Structure 1
Amino acid sequence: MSTARKLSGVMIAGLAAWLFPILAFAEEAGGGGAGALVAIGSGLAVGIAALGGGLGQGRAVASALEGIARNPGAKDKIQTPMILGLAMIESLVILSFVIAIILTGKV
């Protein structure tokens, strides 16, 4: 028996072992699956908002530090707008978190 046939047999057996327990825990028809979708959606919303906020804050701080490194005398003119920008970025993440809590409370 070739290695490819053995590997395909193991993969099929593994897939079957992975899929059949799902059928055992399947929900009956007419069950309330909408609440789970709201919970998943709010979790995704917070995760994506945190990812975007983290990337935005990283770029803002990197640019500010690069500007300060090039011209240390402009530190005060760079630092205040950077902090305001970071606060605005973070407020969007907090807003998505609040919306997710409101949606999850309606489950």
Structure 2
Amino acid sequence: IAALSETCVYDSGIKLVNDYTVIYSGLSSDNKPRNAHVVAICLDQTAIKVWKESGSEWQAISERIFKIRIKCSQFNITIIAVYSPVTPTSTQMADDSM
């Protein structure tokens, strides 16, 4: 399982990439800015099987925050992917991302 950011994919959804499933959340393709702050979670075949068996729960909170929930027999796992700029263009942006 890997959390990804800056994938430059628009909209929200699920894509199959080789042997991996990528669940992603981003800006609408109707509103394409220069930079798409998209977050995603990549699951291998074992993780996707458990995720599907537990109800395939995912939520795109915004184009910068995204989560999936995997229900296991003894405990539940919530995986959160968050985008935060690495190099802010201004001091105000740096303060806003904290």
TM class by shorter chain equals under 0.3
More helix by share: 1
- Bigger Rg, which one: 1
Greater strand share, structure number: 2
TM-score by length of 2: 0.24
Structure having greater relative contact order (Cα 8 Å, sep ≥ 6): 1
